[in-house]
Amino acid sequence: MPLQHGQELVLTIDDDVVTVPCREDTSMLQPCTHEEADTRMILHAADAGHRGLRRIMIKTVDTDVVILAIANIQNISCDELWLAFGAGKHFRYIPAHALAASLGRERSSALPVFHAITGCDTTSSFAGKGKKTAWDTWSAFPEVTDAFVEMYRNMTAVPDSFLNVIERFVVKMYDQRSTSCSVNCTRKQLFAQKGRTLQTIPPTRDALVQHIKRTAYQAVHVWGQCLIADPVLPDPSSWGWATVNGVWQPLWITLPVAGGCCQELLRCQCKARCKTKLCRCVRSGIKCSALCRCGGQCENPTC
């Protein structure tokens, strides 16, 4: 039988009696225009805390919900927020309140941006760099925390101050010993000196900017409004997305694609000289370049 205004809902949980007062004010929940259940769960958890529940549990199999719960526990009026996470032999109970306390206020608030920038449902991950590598880099480079937090709290554009710190974070993910602050320079160094493939070096700065924009759209504008029943989202075209035949797709880069300008990127592994056809560049009849191990400072007869 439906409850009438003024009645109370009584729940029995583990032999504990919990009284939840009913109220006419449902402004925290209506009208709800959230497109995904992930953010709706957090909205309802906040409403439950507002109604007097001190222990709340959310059942989910989605990592995004875990991240949002930890990040928003400070905005949910409850003592304990539990997550019944996973399924089958992987099922476990996760105390979001305890994890948030362990991480601290700033690091907890930064989690959504960290999660989005290292790969989630709507953002790509960095090739060959999983969450563990990214987490270890974050621990070794705590300076990026402030940039993540400020981005999550208020982002109307991508200022250079944020971009520069995040760029340094990405460089360290690919090369912990690097002192460079430029992903473009790091790309050249890793590609030329360490003989890596294009799939194992950092993205270009242009591609990174678009990735950060998509990160901000997801973490700030979508997840950042999870406690608002009727969030207002900006135009995705300003945040790293573009429409192709009426379908939203990631805008990966704004610069011309290298593959459209040349048939093949050639480089040699010669340490010096490059005088004979043992050198790949000499054999191909092209000049050695900065991408070559010799750095173009050699005796290539073509140069």
Q: Per the structure block, which two tokens stand in for 104?
A: 């601290």
Interval 104-145: pLDDT, tens:
999 999 999 999 999 999 999 998 899 999 999 999 999 999
Per-residue pLDDT reduced to its tens digit, 215-269: 999 999 999 999 999 999 999 999 999 999 999 999 999 987 665 455 456 778 8
Using the CB atoms, write b or e for 182-195: b if 16+ within 10 Å.
Answer: bbeebbbbbbbeee
Structural domain boundaries in the chain: 1-103, 104-255, 256-303
| 111 phi and psi angles, rounded to 5 deg | -55, -45
Q: Confidence class of residue 293 from pLDDT cuts 50, 70 and 90? A: confident
Higher pLDDT, 159 or 214: 214
Give the integer Cα–Cα distance in Å for 219 and 112: 6
pLDDT at 13 over 60: no
Looking at residue 285, its pLDDT comes to 81
Q: Among residues of the chain, what percentage have pLDDT more than 70?
A: 87
Q: What percent of the chain has pLDDT over 90?
A: 58
Position 302 scores a pLDDT of: 72
